[in-house]
Copies of this chain bind each other. A is one copy, B any other.
Amino acid sequence: MKKFRRSGRLVDLTNYLIHNPHQLISLTYFAERYDSAKSSISEDLAIIKEMFEARETGLLLTVAGASGGVKYIPTASLSEIKTFLTELCSKLEDPNRVLPGGYLYMMDIIGNPKWMNEIGRYFATMYANKKVDVIMTMATKGIPLAYAVATYMNVPVCIVRHEHRITEGSLVSINYVSGSTKRIQTMSLAKRSLKEGSNVLIIDDFMKAGGTIKGMINLVDEFQSHVVGIGVLVEADHVEERLVDTYTSMTRLSEVNTKEKLVKVELGNFFEKLSQIKED
């Protein structure tokens, strides 16, 4: 195998780490990959670490010892998060989004992988220190964001659905009451798609009263598993009775006036919560 120079190693190492987040990789692996001494690899990693930290795009944790190695944790800086979310809020305030019934058209935002990945990285920053085994979401519109978070955290996704599908084997189904419409609905999850005792991070696109999320919490319970966090892209404000109390929201829909086609969107509680965590 060809021996690599530092410059080439830095490029390939960066590429490798970005594609393998939250995974402990031994220095031996890299030493063999580049036919280089471990001491050289350590120096490379120090350069990458310095740059990632300067840019606040990620942390590089080094674990010493025989079973040690290096682990890349993707992060985002408060300033870039604020800039992005502020732009997102103003995009959401476009009056052309207002649909009959006070709904907002959001598929242009959810349909944009770049934005989903960006927001996914923010949630991954928030929950970086929590033990998360799996991301749970609700079909259909929660899926893109859930996968973005899962990619940055290197964990699988399980998808809860309203309908029963014969292509997933045995299901666990629960009934739940939609918080806004008060209707009884059913949600199901394939038995095989969540192991008992899992630590679950729930991600969804929208939360009004929280009935769907509450349903997912109950479903996690049915699987003898544990909810470690709840993250939503947009929460609706002015909800009489919120069924879920601890969650993080990227944005908050504070007003939708269908008649006057007026939408007001502000920052959700995510930004403040992350600021507090980063201060500590």
Contacts and interface: CB of A to CB of B under 8 A. Distances in A.
B15 A57 contact: yes
A238 to B, nearest CB: 18
Interface string A100-144: 110111111001111011000000000000000000000110011
A114 B19 CA distance: 9
Interface residues of A, number: 56
Interface stretch (A157-165, A222-230, A248-256): A157-165
A6 interface: yes
Given A159-B140, A190-B107, A51 B8 contact: yes
Contacts of A48: 11
Contacts of A50: 8
Contacts of A61: none
Copies of this chain, count: 2
A23 to B, nearest CB: 10
Interface in A12-42: 12, 14-15, 18-19
A167 B155 CA distance: 30
10 contacts: A8-B54, A10-B14, A11-B51, A15-B52, A99-B168, A100-B166, A107-B193, A112-B156, A144-B147, A147-B147
Interface of A: 2, 6-8, 10-12, 14-15, 18-19, 47-48, 50-52, 54-55, 57, 99-101, 103-108, 111-114, 116-117, 139-140, 143-144, 147-148, 150-151, 154-159, 161, 166-169, 190, 192-193
Given A7-B47, A114-B151, 18 more contacts: A2-B54, A7-B7, A8-B54, A15-B57, A19-B117, A101-B166, A105-B167, A105-B168, A105-B190, A107-B159, A107-B193, A111-B159, A113-B154, A113-B156, A114-B154, A116-B147, A140-B140, A140-B159
